[in-house]
Chain A
Amino acid sequence: MNLAQLDRRWIFAIIALSVALPLMFPIGLTGEVSPGTRTFHTLIENLGPEDVIIVSFDCEASSWPEIGPVATVLLRHVLERGVKVVGTSFLSEGTALGYDLLATLEAEVGGEYGGDWVYLGFRPQYVATMLALGEDMQSEYPRDYLGQSTGDLPLLQSVKSYRQIRLVISIADDTMPQYWIEYAGARYGVAIAAGLSAVMVTTFTPYLDSGQLKSILAGLKGAAEYEIMRGERGAGLRGMDAQSSAHLAIIILVLVGNIAYFMKRKDT
């Protein structure tokens, strides 16, 4: 068998096993809490029942396995602080997932729809909507996700635009927070934080340094760290074993590939 030109299906099989086995036989790895996770925790700790935030579900259903644990642990913390939440979504598939998650978590803390939280729902043209939310929330969303007139929702009597919003948390699997920064942040000066998939960390670190983003929490690892801080054992911590073993498998594969490549080069 020529290792340097290995049929990729062998690689696929190794990855499948390295994920499945630790899930079936867990070892319970945890890991350290990074400073970035602490920053986010503090950010939420500083909010209280008088504050209103926007939580935007800017993700596709496809990345929910990764982003869901992040959203869950963050929002549970937000709601326990009594913070009021206005929910939006700029990718249609995140809409229902976000609504379900918020409804479930609000039920845990006894939050009431209309007073403690509202869900405005989906808009396809995100840039335009983000800008419009800074002008007048109710004319942008005449109706909420449930079809009720937004004029009748008690929470939206006092919340008209970004001016009454302490923070926007974009739960995103892609570059949507960039548009929040460029349009809502740059134009209206609203504070923005993001719950991300791990892949987006390098994209958003510059914005973190420049202060355009207040904080980020990323990936299963970020969720696991936040869970450690809150003393929960959720999807984040559960996935850590499989994450580690698959990582190791890829590292070993890359090393083997290089060794095979150099041995072959020596021969020729």
Chain B
Amino acid sequence: MTPTGIWLSAIGTLAIFSFLYKDNPLYRATEQILVGLSVGYLIVMTFQSTLIPRVVEPVQNLEAWGFVSAIWVLLMWTRLSAKYNYISRWPLAIIVGAGAGLSIPAMLKARIITQLGATIRPDITIDVIIGAVGVISTLSYFYFTRPQTGPFRVASKLGTLYLMVFFGATFGYTIMSRLSLLIGRTEFLLGSWLGIL
């Protein structure tokens, strides 16, 4: 990083951290700059990585499929017109429809079948049984169309306990991850900027 760069990012870093004390004009200005830059960044990257090689160049080369792609782009951009913006629902519908169709086998396999395959282990140990009880009781917590009474209540209560263990574990792990980021920023402020590390 150049000295200018280090100073710029140090000022920005402090401006964002100032939000921890309270919202203030410096934070608000930095926030606007961050959002503006990031929108610009994404637009440039999208042009370079997708629109130019996949739409602009094929159209310039007069490829038939390139024109089809260009049509999708134009249909999407009808959103900007007050009169024709209903047309933008068509490309929207492609995304929704194709996404739904793609997700069914993918979800079925990765979220259900594989997880079940890993639950029903060939080797029976205490851990496998604890795991299976956890899966079944958690599922009973998600059982919606029956009042939670009787043995059902016990099962879903047990499921809640498993859920709490899971949430506690993720929270514990996450704290670590989040601290690493602060360590990175602090190293930058103390080391790269102030030079006291």
Instruction: Give A residues with C-beta under 8 Å from B.
Output: 9, 12, 15-16, 19-20, 23-24, 62-66, 68, 92-93, 95, 121-124, 127, 142-143, 178, 181-183, 186, 197-203, 206, 209-212, 219-221, 238-239, 242-243, 246-247, 250
Contacts and interface: CB of A to CB of B under 8 A. Distances in A.
Contacts of B184: 64-66, 68, 239
B114 A210 contact: yes
B166 A202 contact: yes
26 contacts: A15-B182, A19-B182, A20-B186, A23-B190, A23-B197, A64-B184, A65-B180, A65-B181, A65-B184, A65-B185, A66-B180, A92-B41, A92-B42, A92-B45, A122-B45, A124-B50, A186-B109, A197-B180, A198-B176, A199-B173, A199-B178, A202-B170, A206-B115, A219-B176, A242-B186, A246-B179
B183 interface: yes
Contacts of B178: 199
Given A198-B176, A199-B170, A246 B182 contact: yes
B177 A219 contact: yes
B60 interface: no
Contacts of A238: 187
B169 interface: yes
B145 interface: no
Contacts of A95: 45
A206 B119 CA distance: 10
Nearest to A246: B179
Interface of B: 20-21, 41-42, 45-46, 49-50, 53, 102, 106-107, 109-110, 114-115, 117-118, 166, 169-170, 173-187, 190-191, 196-197
Interface of B is mostly: helix
A191 B176 CA distance: 28
B97 to A, nearest CB: 14
Contact of A65 (B20, B46, B102, B183): B183
Contacts of B176: 198-199, 219-221, 243, 247
B183 A243 contact: yes
Contacts of B181: 62-63, 65-66
Contacts, number: 119
Contacts of A66: 177, 180-181, 184
B176 to A, nearest CB: 4
Contact of A212 (B21, B106, B114, B175): B114
Nearest to B45: A92
A182 B109 CA distance: 8
With most chain A CB atoms within 10 A of its CB, the pick from B41, B49, B117 is: B49
A15 B187 CA distance: 14
Contact of B183 (A206, A211, A239): A239
A24 B190 contact: yes
